[in-house]
Structure 1
Amino acid sequence: METIKSFVNDYLVWLSIPKLTLTDILEILILAFLIYHIVNWIKSTRAWMLVKGIIVLCIFSLIASILNFNVILWIISKTINVGIIAVVILFQPELRKALEQLGRKNIVSSFITFDDQKEKNERFSDKTISEIVRATFELSKTKTGALMVIEQNIVLSEYERTGINIDSAISSQLLINIFEHNTPLHDGAVLIRGNRIVAATCYLPLSDNMELSKDLGTRHRAGVGISEVSDSLTITVSEETGKVSIAIGGVLIRNVDGDYLKNKLQSLQRRSGETKKIKLWRGRLKNEKKMD
Structure 2
Amino acid sequence: MLGEGLNLFNILRIIVDITLVWYVFYKLIMLLRGTKAIQLLKGIFVVIFIYLVSYLLNLQTVQVMIEQIIVWGPVAVIILFQPELRRALEQIGRGSFFSRNRQSEEDILNQVIEALVTSCTYMGKRRIGALITIERDTNMGDYIQTGIPIEGQLSHQLLTNIFVPNTPLHDGAVIIHHNRIIAAACYLPLSESPFISKELGTRHRAAMGISEVSDALTIVVSEETGHISYTRNGELHRDISQDELSTMLRNDLNQSFSKPPTLKNWNWRGMKK
Question: 2 CA distance for matches of 1:202 and 1:122?
Answer: 27
Q: Give the AA of the match of 2:163.
A: F
Candidates 169, 180, 193, aligned match of 1:209: 193
Q: Does 1:131 align with 2:115?
A: yes
Q: Does 1:269 align with 2:266?
A: no
Conserved? CA contact 1:122–1:269, under 8 Å? no
Question: 2 CA distance for matches of 1:166 and 1:146?
Answer: 16
- Which one is further off, 175-184 or 122-131? 122-131
Q: Does 1:253 align with 2:237?
A: yes
Shift in alpha-carbon separation, 1:272–1:254, aligned structure 2, 3 A = closer
Describe the SS at the equivalent of 2:131: strand
**1:162 matched residue in structure 2:** 146
Q: Does 1:228 align with 2:179?
A: no
1:119, distance to aligned residue in structure 2 (A): 7.3
Question: 2 CA distance for matches of 1:204 and 1:162?
Answer: 9
**1:239 matched residue in structure 2:** 223
Q: Deviations over 1:224-275 (max 9, x none)?
A: 10000000110000010000000101111100011111111111223448xx
**1:182 matched residue in structure 2:** 166
Q: Give the AA of the match of 2:254.
A: Q
Describe the SS at the equivalent of 2:240: coil
Between the two proteins, the alignment pairs up a number of residues equal to 164
Question: 1 CA distance for matches of 2:123 and 2:142?
Answer: 27
Tell me the percent identity.
Answer: 47
Q: Deviations over 1:55-80 (max 9, x none)?
A: xxxxxxxxxxxxxxxxxxxxxxxxxx
Q: Give the AA of the match of 1:194.
A: H
Question: 1 CA distance for matches of 2:26 and 2:171?
Answer: 39
Q: How does 1:34-183 map to 2 (within 5 A)?
A: 114-115=26-27, 116=30, 122=105, 125-183=109-167
Question: 2 CA distance for matches of 1:213 and 1:119?
Answer: 45
Q: Normalising to structure 1: TM-score of the pair?
A: 0.52
Question: 1 CA distance for matches of 2:242 and 2:141?
Answer: 29
Describe the SS at the equivalent of 2:114: helix
Conserved? CA contact 1:119–1:272, under 8 Å? no
**2:71 matched residue in structure 1:** none
Question: 1 CA distance for matches of 2:148 and 2:112?
Answer: 21
1:196, distance to aligned residue in structure 2 (A): 0.2
Q: Does 1:191 align with 2:175?
A: yes
Question: 1 CA distance for matches of 2:165 and 2:150?
Answer: 18
Mind listing any 5+ residue stretches in structure 1 that lack a counterpart?
1-110, 274-292
